[in-house]
Chains A and B, each alone.
Chain A
């Protein structure tokens, strides 16, 4: 299963505001682990430095969503794991930098698509301010990844897909 499919399925299965936010947390945690793995693995030089920074950004995103979950009076119990990375994004531990960048771009796109699911489905709409800020960060990560991959960096309407 691709990481984009896994993320889309998690959002589709979420039935409450809390479970939607838990999904968003899991995606950001997965991103933090994946960027860290790519920095320790196939990436080098400036790409490695950026991956390390972006891993930190993903941790900040996860913390922001965790705050939203706590605001819904739900404890944070969701944890992405290295096993999730191994299953869904093995390329970040591989030998090909381009393959790692491609799967990281897929993850960021799927994260953005998920944030837009939040915009459609959340009842506690104030959470969308946080989702919007996190999505902006993901979109900027995507620009760097697309540039490194030789793809057009921006879209007029970014849906992540």
Chain B
């Protein structure tokens, strides 16, 4: 239902341009394609029209589907990081993320090398960003933001510990 609050539709082209510009900075293999695709889909959804409370019609996914994607991303990102001095701390934090996000008893099992861990955590950040507006409960959105911020921190900390530039992008993405 459209409640008429979607003033944002008037500037959808500018919005799309800004998002594409931001996504164009996110260059890391699959992450690049996902970022660009996400930006394009989002822009397209905005152009398609407005729904309730400023939301594009047809862009909303059932909350359970969104939560399932969040949990999958967190479990993938939570694989223990092989060879990092931060591995133990990050594994403990990731276990808490999984529990908070509703993974129940499921936990990541196999370990990941640094490059794989960074890619999975980056993917989780993108997934969480995409999911934020799709969670209807503000408390759930805040909880997801707190985990999102933690995953972004872990990316920077892992890079720093490995002697890499910790913040290669203003928006917590990859730059190659």
Contacts and interface: CB of A to CB of B under 8 A. Distances in A.
Given A137-B172, A158-B150, A126 B93 contact: no
Contacts of B142: 116, 119-120
A80 B141 CA distance: 28
A136 interface: yes
Q: Which 5 A-B pairs have the closest CB atoms?
A: A136-B172, A158-B149, A136-B152, A57-B170, A140-B156
Contact of B128 (A53, A123, A132, A158): A132
A143 B56 CA distance: 35
Given A61-B170, A125-B133, A157-B96, A133 B149 contact: no
Of A54, A67, A112, chain B has the most CB atoms within 10 Å of the CB of A67
Given A123-B54, A126-B54, A155-B150, 7 more contacts: A61-B171, A119-B142, A125-B55, A133-B22, A140-B153, A143-B157, A154-B86
A121 interface: yes
B133 A144 contact: no
Given A56-B170, A140-B155, A156 B96 contact: yes
Interface string A129-161: 101111111111111100100001111111110
A153 to B, nearest CB: 5
A153 B156 contact: yes
Contacts, number: 170
Of A56, A120, A129, chain B has the most CB atoms within 10 Å of the CB of A129
A125 B141 CA distance: 10
B166 A144 contact: yes
Interface residues of B, number: 58
Contacts of A154: 86, 89-90, 93, 150, 153-154, 157
B2 interface: no
Interface of B: 5-8, 10-12, 14-15, 18-19, 22, 42, 46, 53-56, 86, 89-90, 92-93, 96-97, 100, 125, 128-130, 132-133, 138-139, 141-150, 152-157, 160, 166-167, 169-173
B33 to A, nearest CB: 17
Given A71-B8, A132-B129, A139-B152, A158 B172 contact: no
Given A143-B157, A154-B154, A126 B133 contact: yes
Contacts of A8: none
A59 to B, nearest CB: 9
A64 interface: yes
Contacts of A139: 149-150, 152-153, 156, 172
